[in-house]
A = this chain, B = another copy of it.
């Protein structure tokens, strides 16, 4: 069984777990608090980021999209119509664009800040950046949620799934990001019915 170093509140880690779940492949989980900068963890990934997959032969595979590509190359190609990626290069580019949108753009404009201020800082030691939440950072992140919801709503309203006619990595990336925000009660679904229908 492969092993994933993850944190339950990181969208990037949720995304990887969703992908393995879709393929019915079990994953041993190790919860990591990256801010403690554990030596063994930094030896696996000098960038000090999550997620990290220990793949066959315990080789570390670092980063959500890197893991997704690896999963596709070693498992996805055999999944036929359940494959979470497309065959066509143009469609693959669109799936990658949207996966990056949710795991990097939404992450750096919204998700990361709300998780840090509302979830992590209260449990982090002050030496690692813990302390009371920064209300300006929370306000700024909240102001950005609307644009991401509007875009998601537009995608969900004009396509069957976010990147086209099938469930792909793009849907899992969006679901991972929005599930973190939904858990924090940050999403007002009423104005975004197409997105809500896609999500449920």
Closest to A61 in B: B93
19 A-B pairs whose Cβ atoms sit less than 8 Å apart in the complex: A46-B151, A55-B90, A55-B93, A61-B90, A61-B97, A62-B93, A63-B96, A63-B100, A65-B65, A65-B100, A66-B97, A66-B100, A67-B93, A69-B96, A70-B89, A70-B93, A73-B89, A73-B92, A104-B104
Count of this chain's copies in the oligomeric assembly: 2
Interface members, chain A 52-103 (any B CB < 8 Å): 55-57, 59, 61-63, 65-67, 69-70, 73-74, 89-90, 92-93, 96-97, 100-101
| Chain B CB within 8 A of A105 CB | yes
| Chain B CB within 8 A of A140 CB | no
| Chain B CB within 8 A of A47 CB | yes
Question: Contact flags (1/0) for A150-171 with B, using CB distance below 8 Å?
Answer: 0100000000000000000000
A67–chain B nearest beta-carbon distance, Å: 8
A residues lining the B interface (CB < 8 Å)? 46-47, 55-57, 59, 61-63, 65-67, 69-70, 73-74, 89-90, 92-93, 96-97, 100-101, 104-105, 151
For the complex with contacts A55-B93, A65-B96, A69-B69, 4 further pairs of A-B residues with Cβ separation under 8 Å are A59-B90, A62-B93, A65-B100, A70-B92
With a cutoff of 8 Å between Cβ atoms, the chain B residues found around residue A67 in the complex are 93
With a cutoff of 8 Å between Cβ atoms, the chain B residues found around residue A105 in the complex are 47
A160–B59 alpha-carbon span in the complex (Å): 20
A96–B47 alpha-carbon span in the complex (Å): 14
A97–chain B nearest beta-carbon distance, Å: 5
Closest to A53 in B: B93
A141–B45 alpha-carbon span in the complex (Å): 22
With a cutoff of 8 Å between Cβ atoms, the chain B residues found around residue A55 in the complex are 90, 93
Closest to A99 in B: B66
